[in-house]
A = this chain, B = another copy of it.
């Protein structure tokens, strides 16, 4: 799902499509990685010069509520990324390093889950977490 489609979804959900929101969406879309809110602010100001902090936080919360963006915990605070399908990754809890994974054992469960729970399911995240080789040494986690 690219930025253009997300804008349509916003409209479809009854929200206005403003320059500020487009700037935030495009900043997230062009980054290709998770951004902290302040990074979103900096990047989005290139397209919407007077953009304020509050609007960035409001927009990120809105996108997350609609399932269009995904908040992820990271060292240093929550970061956001646009929802581009589902997310599968391996994350180091020590330093935050991550490897994207190319597997999905969860597809196929979504429809049944939605039916049984009444939820409108936007996607899923499968995250393996542990320590990368470097952090295994640094934290002396002998396991």
Contacts and interface: CB of A to CB of B under 8 A. Distances in A.
B67 A130 contact: yes
A90 B119 contact: yes
B141 A130 contact: no
Interface residues of A, number: 50
Given A120-B130, A131-B119, A12 B67 contact: no
B118 A133 contact: yes
Prevailing SS type, chain A contact patch: mixed
B118 A93 contact: no
Interface string A122-138: 11111111111101100
A92 B78 contact: no
27 contacts: A12-B142, A12-B143, A13-B141, A13-B142, A65-B93, A67-B93, A77-B78, A90-B113, A90-B117, A90-B121, A99-B119, A101-B113, A105-B109, A113-B128, A114-B130, A118-B132, A120-B131, A120-B136, A121-B128, A121-B130, A122-B129, A122-B130, A122-B131, A123-B129, A124-B126, A125-B126, A125-B129
